[in-house]
Structure 1
Amino acid sequence: MLRLRQLLRANQPTLLKTASYYMIHIMVAACVAYAVTRNFWASLTLSLLEPSVQAVAYFFHEKAWNRAQARQAPQPALGAAQ
């Protein structure tokens, strides 16, 4: 349980960003699905299923981008701190 708390704390900004994106995505998906199907239950199912999968994918996508940016950041010179 401690490890999960540490993971959540360490990734809090990304998780909050993912959650806000998830809510917007559900609303957009529900509107689009309803416009296409004219069926409330089908649009509700589609709007919950697809964004849920996307939210998980987005979290890992964001983590990969953060790692790539960290690798590209200029590294301090070894002798510069002296």
Structure 2
Amino acid sequence: MLKTMTFAMLHFGVAFSITYLLTGSLLIGGAVALVEPTINTVVFYFHEKVWKRIESNRAVLKQPG
């Protein structure tokens, strides 16, 4: 979960910076920086869970026996 939270903070900074640079608006930059990274962080969390399950299944299939 810590990895997800640090990713969220980094993503927030990037989203705000890019949106602000493109629009010059603190309001729009802040709004995009709140919405987009929040959704992306939730998606990332579940993406990680799916990949862990895939890796676990692959490990089981590779076991001799």
TM-score if structure 2 supplies the norm length?
A: 0.91
Distance 1:51 1:76 in 2: 42
Structure with greater helix percent: 2
Distance 1:40 1:16 in 2: 28
User: Highest Rg: 1 or 2?
Assistant: 1
Range with bigger deviation, 55-64 or 68-77: 68-77
User: Does 1:55 pair with 2:38?
Assistant: no
Distance 1:76 1:66 in 2: 21
> Over the residues paired in the alignment, what is the CA RMSD in angstroms?
0.9
Distance 2:14 2:55 in 1: 30
1:29 counterpart letter in structure 2: A
Q: Which runs of 4+ in 1 moved over 4 A?
A: none
| Equivalence for 2:63 | 75
| Equivalence for 1:25 | 11
| Equivalence for 2:29 | 43
TM-score if structure 1 supplies the norm length?
A: 0.73
Deviations, residues 21-52 of structure 1 (Å, cap 9, x unaligned):
00000000000000111000110010110000
Task: Determine what percentage of the aligned residue pairs are the same residue.
Answer: 35
How far residue 75 of structure 1 moved from its aligned partner, in angstroms, is: 2.4
